Amino acid sequence: MPVIVFASSKGGAGKSTACVLVGSELARQGLDKNIRVALLDADPNSHSSGWAILDGCPRNIEIMNNLNENNILDAIDLAKKTCPFVLIDLEGVSSNTVTFAISQADLVIIPCQPSQNDAKEAVKTLKMVKNSSRLISKNIPSWILFTRLSAAIVTKTSRSLLSDFKAANVNVFSTSLIDREVFRSIFSFGGTIDKFKNFEKAQVNVNSLVSEIKNILKKGK
Ligand SMILES: Nc1ncnc2c1ncn2[C@@H]1O[C@H](COP(=O)(O)OP(=O)(O)OP(=O)(O)O)[C@@H](O)[C@H]1O
Ligand SMILES: [Mg+2]
């Protein structure tokens, strides 16, 4: 029943995209055994639940939306009872809803685009998670996920940001989400990436991220 939270103090960092991709892949892997994946959309803009109501959402994904500071903790408890994976897509703000969700996380994933300003926002989010950890006297693992990287080149900026994070002992996923049209298309046309042409590289990219997530959850740090 791990709770995986996608958080960033910045809008547009890639939370909903990462959340839907990871949720879809976990659902695909669990379809035969009817392993259910709860996707809690705690963003009033409803991007993940907007995706889920389009055609092609895996049948073992359970969407919960209209979440706020009054009901998020109850929703998480309920989801944990029925679903082996609970994913939470947050709004790009600092709020009680965000703090409450982070306090329940087994893993916080902080998407970050490869630019200096985005990295500064990611550091703010890391601090937010550290503060929540102090409040509940429990370490909440937090990992930076680089998103929207170029498939063609490793830029000087992304290389430098990665080495800054490593030097500061910040956890960074080895897998980055590449900037791919198919990752945008699912929000326009619904469903999972495998229904689009030339999805294979995107699938490898998402599989690699999900394997890393599962390993982190297994190790619990
Ligand atoms: N890996 C990717 N490849 C292509 N496009 C992407 C990728 N990640 C995000 N995007 C695009 O970037 C924009 C912002 O992404 P997304 O909605 O996932 O961010 P967010 O952090 O959830 O934003 P918000 O804070 O507004 O909810 C969207 O248009 C999305 O399609
Ligand atoms: Mg979003």
| pLDDT by residue, tens only, the chain of 221 residues | 799 999 999 899 999 999 999 999 999 999 989 899 999 999 999 999 999 999 999 999 999 999 999 999 999 999 999 999 999 999 999 899 999 999 999 999 999 999 999 999 999 999 999 999 999 999 999 999 999 999 888 889 999 999 999 999 999 999 999 999 999 999 999 999 999 988 999 999 999 999 999 999 998 76
Q: What is the pLDDT of residue 74?
A: 98
Contacts for 48 with CB less than 8 Å, ≥ 6 apart: 16, 19, 20, 23, 39, 41, 63, 89
For the CA of 18, the nearest atom of ligand 1: 18
**Hey, what amino acid is at 101?**
A
- The whole-number pLDDT of residue 154 equals 84
CA-atom Rg of the chain in angstroms? 16
CA distances from 15 to 26, 41, 117, 145, 156 (A): 16, 11, 17, 10, 24
Taken in order of first residue, the domains within the chain and their CATH numbers are 3-219 (3.40.50.300)
User: Does residue 49 line the site of ligand 1, with CB under 6 A?
Assistant: no
Residue 28 Cβ inside 6 Å of ligand 1? The answer reads: no
CA of 179 to the centre of ligand 1 (A): 10
pLDDT, residue 1, reads 79
Give the per-residue pLDDT at 147: 97
CB of 179 closer than 6 angstroms to any ligand 1 atom: yes
CB 102 within 8 A of CB 132: yes
Q: How far apart are CA 64 and CA 171, in angstroms?
A: 29
